[in-house]
């Protein structure tokens, strides 16, 4: 999403100020090395650069260019699907297992990209199971287990 | 000699050779798909590399990146679309040569030149890095502080066309590097009571978010565009004829040297090396008029340079622990995660591993030729793979890769947060590379800054007291202030005629 430099600069400047201000709450022990020194410098520079970007783009404050994909429902769903898939995997995989989540995510994602549901399901089951088995048995990574993983263990 | 043999023994392990072969196939595959970069290939491989031995992990990264670099030329030849940014300089030449039925002079030339460039770069790395390490062995925290700061400064200068946004991106990376427990005092910074943040923001998760998930977001917004289909056929032998190769010898040697030197500069990666070498090859070419319209000379010079740059970027990485580009930033992260601190002492303490790296470079570039020929034939099929298959699998690799970092779902939230942040940043022309360098170098900068400050008892003059530290400090200040001073001078000069008229 293309936003005017004025607003992105202003947002980063505000974050920079917040970082520097929060650093002032750190407890400083006696001695030269203060844990708040670098965060203060980093926050200040972020505020400075953000401010300069905002200043440079102050004449374009109202030139908000809405991206073309917002008018295409399938692309909006594809964009929304990504964080939804990450959240769903993070919250549900420990409950239902990695394979079920992998198959579901692969199938839905493929359908959204335009594959017919039956082929998407076939693809989801094959690749979802293969990649999960590769991580668990090939690389020894203990992915969250569910019913399917218990069958193979 | 013993260290070389020890290094050879480390490489000639079945697990190392097997991972090299698998990562080669993966690198060739990712490099062939337009839009997926060598950095993304490496970012997706890091969680896997993390489970391997240090040598196998490094072999995985080196092989994968070398293969991806060459494989980027395949869509350039068939689709007129570079697979990776490093192939952009000579894309039109590649495509026009293949159209003319000269596959050997296009893909074959690029394949052999890439392998020769990688080998030449590795030889320069083998002889140059230890010499530099001998020089750097007496460096103290002052010199390392300035070096890391100089690396950060140079990186932002070449990060994109908007230096100010590059600097801002760098501060975001530096901020991420200070999250967690302070290494001197043990005080929690920006953890907000979240236990998982005490060890800091996971570097691998940031890499996956910045280079893989953000790319999926970008792809989702452009998915309506038709997937290109290769229409060209391979009608000739895939390798160049020996006399054709011999004619390009000067371009290859020059490209190798230029690529290695540019690769060794912090922030200047393979794509810049390819462009510079392409321009210089044109200057010395017998037929400069063919450049951009099917020049084998341009392909030879630039394809050599981008693979040589890959080897060159390991010079500052190994000698100083300062990454030359995003891929070597990952290497520094992996080395540290594996308990190996890059720097001049690595040549003494882990000489066998350093030699193993040289051998891996030579081996990776040697196997590039046979695997590359295979990739040329399979390329037409691979670049026809539908987005509907490719991108869901990449999403799954992102999820599993992030989880594999610490077997903790928390890493997924970091991937998601960074993925969205970098996607929005890139949509608004903020580069992502300085953020990664800031995250990796932030800790080096702070640790050396704090150590120096304690040694100097708070007196900043001591940062310039040692000769090399003084030179590096002044150099850093010049890099900082040169653009400002030249900008002001330019503005004053452009105002002069107006003043005269008034």
Domains of chain A by residue range: 5-60, 69-152
- Integer Cα distance of B486 and B463 in angstroms: 26
Question: Please, are residues B252 and B304 in contact by the beta-carbon 8 Å criterion?
Answer: yes
Question: Is B409 part of a structural domain of the chain?
Answer: yes
Q: What's the pLDDT band for B502 if we cut at 50, 70, 90?
A: very low
User: How many domains does chain B contain in total?
Assistant: 1
Helix (H, G, I), strand (E, B) or coil at B232: coil
Please indicate, yes or no, if residue B249 is contained in any of the structural domains: yes
Contact check, Cβ <8 Å, A38/B185? no
Q: What angle do CA B67, B117, B64 make, to 5 degrees?
A: 15
Nearest to B125 by CA among B340, B356, B436, B371: B356
Using CB atoms within 10 A of its CB, is residue B192 exposed (0-12), middle (13-18) or buried (19+)? exposed
What residues in A contact B184, CB-CB < 8 Å? 33, 35
Cβ-Cβ contacts under 8 Å for B2 (sequence gap 6 or more): none
Q: ipTM, 2 decimals?
A: 0.93
| Confidence bin at B501 (pLDDT 50/70/90) | very low
Lowest mean pLDDT among A81-85, B66-70, B251-255: B66-70
Q: End-to-end CA distance of chain A: give it in Å, rounded.
A: 45
The beta-strand segments (E) located in B167-278 are: 180-181, 188-189
pLDDT beyond 70 at B463 = yes
A 10 A CB-CB count for B372 gives 26
For the cut 70, the answer to whether the pLDDT of residue B251 exceeds it is yes
User: Which one-letter DSSP state was computed for residue B256?
Assistant: H
Contact B152, B445 (CB under 8 A): yes
Which residue is closest to B411 within chain A, CA to CA? Answer: A90
> Across chain B, which distance is largest between two alpha carbons, in Å?
79
pLDDT tens digits, one per residue of B25-53 = 988 888 887 666 777 788 888 878 878 88
pLDDT at residue B232, as a whole number? 57
Is residue B8 domain-resident?
Answer: yes
Tens-place pLDDT, residues B343-401: 888 887 888 888 888 899 999 999 999 999 888 888 777 777 778 888 899 899 889 88
In the stretch 93-122 of chain A, residues with CB closer than 8 A to chain B read 93-94, 98, 102, 105-106, 109-110, 113-115, 120
> Among B166, B173, B392, which would you mutate to test the A interface (most chain A Cβ atoms within 10 Å of its Cβ)?
B392
Quote the CA–CA distance of A64 and B18 in Å, as a whole number.
51
pLDDT tens-digit series, residues A73-112? 888 999 999 999 999 999 999 989 999 999 999 999 999 9
Q: How confident is the model at residue A33 (pLDDT cuts 50, 70, 90)?
A: low
Say if B483 falls within a structural domain.
no
Query: Is the CB of A53 less than 8 angstroms away from the CB of B164?
Result: yes
Domain membership flag for residue B333: yes
> pLDDT per residue over B183-202, tens digit each?
778 889 999 989 989 988 88
Q: Residue B339: its pLDDT value, please?
A: 78
Distance from CA of B295 to the nearest CA of A (A): 38
Q: Smallest CA–CA separation between B193 and chain A, in Å?
A: 14
> What is the mean predicted confidence (pLDDT) over A119-125?
94
Which helix (H) or strand (E) element contains residue B371?
A: helix B351-382
Q: Which domain holds residue B173?
A: 2-465
Does the beta carbon of A26 lie under 8 angstroms from any beta carbon of chain B? Answer: yes
Distance CA B237, CA A53 (A): 53
pLDDT tens track for A52-73: 999 988 877 666 677 778 888 8
Positive or negative, the CA dihedral B295, B158, B71, B21 is positive
Q: What is the mean pLDDT of residues B314-342?
A: 80
| Chain A residues near residue B174 by CB distance under 8 angstroms | 38, 42
Let me know if residue B362 belongs to a domain: yes
What is the Cα–Cα distance from B196 to B202, expressed in whole angstroms? 10
Asked, for residue B254, whether it belongs to a domain, the answer is yes
How far away is chain A from the Cα of B205, in angstroms, using its nearest Cα?
Answer: 13
């Amino acid at each position: 999403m293309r936003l005017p430099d004025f607003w992105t600069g202003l947002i980063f400047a505000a974050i920079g100020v917040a970082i520097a201000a929060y650093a002032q709450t750190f407890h400083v022990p006696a001695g030269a090395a203060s844990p708040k020194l670098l965060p203060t410098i980093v926050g200040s520079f972020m505020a400075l650069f953000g401010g300069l970007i905002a200043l440079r783009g102050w004449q374009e404050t109202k030139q908000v260019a809405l991206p073309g994909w917002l008018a295409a429902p399938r692309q909006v769903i594809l964009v929304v699907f990504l964080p939804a898939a990450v959240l769903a995997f993070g919250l549900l995989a420990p409950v239902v297992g990695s394979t079920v989540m992998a198959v579901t995510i692969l199938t839905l994602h493929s359908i959204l990209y335009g594959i017919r549901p039956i082929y998407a399901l076939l693809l989801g089951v094959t690749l979802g199971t293969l990649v999960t088995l590769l991580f668990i048995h090939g690389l020894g990574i203990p992915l969250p287990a569910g019913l399917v993983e218990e069958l193979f263990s | 000699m013993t260290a070389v043999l020890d290094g050879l023994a480390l490489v000639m392990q079945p697990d190392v050779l097997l991972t090299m072969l698998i990562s080669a196939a993966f690198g060739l595959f990712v490099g062939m798909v337009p839009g997926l970069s060598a950095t993304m290939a490496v970012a997706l491989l890091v969680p896997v590399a993390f489970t391997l031995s240090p040598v196998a992990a490094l072999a995985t990264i080196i092989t994968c990146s070398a293969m991806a670099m060459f494989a980027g030329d395949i869509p350039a030849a068939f689709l007129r679309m570079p697979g990776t940014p490093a192939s952009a300089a000579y894309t039109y030449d590649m495509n026009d040569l293949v159209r003319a039925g000269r596959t050997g002079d296009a893909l074959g030339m690029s394949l052999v030149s890439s392998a020769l460039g990688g080998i030449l770069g590795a030889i320069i790395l083998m002889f140059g890095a230890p010499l530099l390490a001998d020089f750097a062995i007496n460096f103290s925290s002052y010199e390392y502080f300035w070096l890391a700061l100089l690396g950060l400064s140079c990186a932002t200068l070449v990060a994109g066309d908007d230096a100010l946004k590059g600097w801002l991106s760098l501060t975001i990376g530096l901020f991420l590097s200070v999250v967690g427990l302070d290494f001197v005092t043990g005080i929690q910074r920006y953890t907000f009571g979240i236990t998982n943040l005490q060890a800091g923001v996971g570097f691998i998760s940031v890499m996956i978010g910045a280079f893989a998930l953000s790319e999926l977001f970008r792809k989702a917004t452009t998915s309506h565009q038709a997937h290109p289909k290769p229409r060209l056929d391979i009608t000739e032998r895939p390798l160049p004829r020996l006399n054709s190769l011999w004619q390009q010898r000067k371009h290859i040697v020059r490209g190798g040297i230029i690529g290695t030197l540019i690769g060794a500069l912090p922030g200047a990666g393979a794509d810049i090396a390819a462009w510079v070498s392409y321009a210089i090859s044109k200057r010395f070419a017998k037929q400069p008029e063919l450049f951009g319209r099917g020049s084998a000379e341009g392909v030879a010079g630039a394809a050599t340079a981008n693979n040589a740059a890959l080897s060159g970027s390991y010079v500052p990485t190994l000698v100083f622990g300062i990454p030359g580009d995003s891929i070597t930033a990952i290497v520094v992260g992996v080395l540290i995660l594996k308990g190996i601190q890059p720097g001049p002492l690595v040549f003494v303490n882990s000489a066998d591993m350093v030699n193993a790296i040289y051998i891996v470079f030579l081996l990776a570039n040697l196997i590039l030729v046979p695997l590359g020929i295979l990739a040329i034939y399979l390329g037409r099929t691979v670049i026809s793979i539908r987005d509907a298959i490719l991108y869901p699998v990449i999403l799954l690799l992102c999820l599993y890769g992030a989880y594999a970092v610490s077997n903790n779902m928390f890493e997924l939230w970091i991937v998601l947060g960074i993925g969205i942040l970098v996607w929005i940043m890139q949509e608004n022309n903020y580069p992502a590379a300085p953020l990664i360098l800031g995250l990796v170098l932030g800790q080096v900068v702070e640790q050396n800054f704090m150590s120096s400050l304690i040694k100097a008892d708070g007196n900043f003059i001591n940062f310039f007291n040692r000769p090399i530290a003084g030179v590096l400090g002044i150099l850093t200040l010049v890099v900082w202030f040169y653009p400002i001073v030249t900008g002001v001078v330019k503005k004053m000069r452009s105002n002069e005629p107006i003043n005269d008229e008034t």
